[in-house]
Amino acid sequence: MMLIRRSTLTLAGAASLTLGFGLAAQAQSPDLSEPPAIEGEVLGDHGSHTLRMGFGLAESSPQYLSSRYFADILEARTEGRISVNIFPNSQLGDDVQMMEMLQTGTLDMTYPSSSAATTYVPELAAFDLPFLLPSREAAIAVMQSDVGQSMLDGFEGTGIKALTFSENGYRQLSNSARPVTSPEDVAGLDVRGLSVRTMENPVHLAIWQALGANPTPMAFGELFSAMEQGVVDGQENPWSTILTSNFHEVQDYGTETRHVYTPFVMMMSERTWNRLAPEYQELVQEAARQSAEYEIQLSTEYDDWSRDQLEARGMQITRLDDEQIADFQEAVQPVYAEWAPRIGEDLIAEIQAIVEASMND
């Protein structure tokens, strides 16, 4: 047991401080859970490492806050011999580029969406199937299952060591053209279909084609200015990302489609991994799991809160009832016809069994 400084608690604290001064300020983040206290022994001297980790989201995101916790665990338990420098906001590249940097050893760690990594582990594309995971509990059960673990193990031989899944979350549609309540609104009857930015992932492309949009794959880091300049009408991401990346500044409409649940995968360059002493490797793996658990907790706290914040900031948000969701589900059936055989019917059945078991818990 040891005393640890808490570097990630400032946001909620700052919000209440502001309120304490009587300024009716909007909270900048939900009243976030504190990261669990850092416990466990301090390791002996197995060398010193300064690791660089890059990813796409902003400093206010659950991904960043939990990565700080990851860094804090490593620093505390090695007395500073391992330190992690975090580069958010796609500063070092996009998801695809940073995974390539891990392979060549020019970057130590990154934290992409699973959808960007299907070129390494094709099975990950199961997560991209629309409406496969009906609840967060089901999604977490799949990520923590043997099926999930074998997806992480599937990176072996790629030059990338996958450490853990965590939550990017349920994706929602936003756009600057019109309110969307149905697939017809996406496709446009008298007007052109929405141009929607997608991740660089063929299943996502198929989803938005099936919905009658004009999908454009694009790196996340280019997305804000593409929307600002009207290159695309819209995009889809969890509410927390829409908020923390300020997309509401250029997107007037949101629709709670929850069409895909996307995990994040925390990963390390195999070259970096192999340079670490076994004791350090074990610690990194443990810290990754602990930070992922914290990330999921933060992401859960952020989700509905972010939607309400977006609404408070003027985004017009459409919630869909079961029938309206069913219309979207029906419209994306061609995606299953095309992709289920390629991703693997057995794998999908296994995932569905995990989903069902999680619903009966």
Residues that bind ligand TK8 (CB under 6 A): 55-57, 95, 112-113, 168, 199, 220, 237, 241, 262
Q: How far apart are CA 44 and CA 279, in angstroms?
A: 9
End-to-end CA distance of the chain: 34
Shortest Å distance, C-beta 284 to ligand TK8? 21
Which is nearer to ligand TK8, 95 or 303 (by Cβ)? 95
Shortest Å distance, C-beta 55 to ligand TK8? 6
Residue-wise over 98-136: b if at least 16 C-beta within 10 A, else e? bbebbbeeebbbbbbbbbbbbebbebbbbbbbbbbbeeb
Give SS3 for 134: coil
163 membership: H or E segment, kind and range: strand 160-170
- Please give the residue whose beta carbon sits closest to ligand TK8 in the complex: 56
- Closest to 195 measured CA to CA, from 179, 208, 182, 207: 208
Which is nearer to ligand TK8, 169 or 193 (by Cβ)? 169
How far are the Cα atoms of 55, 107, 223, 267 from residue 119, in angstroms, in the given order? 18, 19, 22, 15
Shortest Å distance, C-beta 313 to ligand TK8? 20
- Number of C-beta neighbours around residue 37 at 10 A: 10
Which is nearer to ligand TK8, 112 or 130 (by Cβ)? 112
Shortest Å distance, C-beta 75 to ligand TK8? 24
DSSP alpha helix (H) spans, 195-331: 202-210, 223-228, 239-244, 270-275, 278-312, 322-331
Which is nearer to ligand TK8, 221 or 344 (by Cβ)? 221
Shortest Å distance, C-beta 359 to ligand TK8? 26
Q: Which two tokens stand for residue 101?
A: 């940097």
Shortest Å distance, C-beta 46 to ligand TK8? 31
Question: Do residues 327 and 183 make contact, with C-beta atoms less than 8 angstroms apart?
Answer: yes
Which is nearer to ligand TK8, 61 or 78 (by Cβ)? 61
Give SS3 for 235: strand
Which is nearer to ligand TK8, 247 or 328 (by Cβ)? 247
Which is nearer to ligand TK8, 76 or 265 (by Cβ)? 265
Shortest Å distance, C-beta 67 to ligand TK8? 12
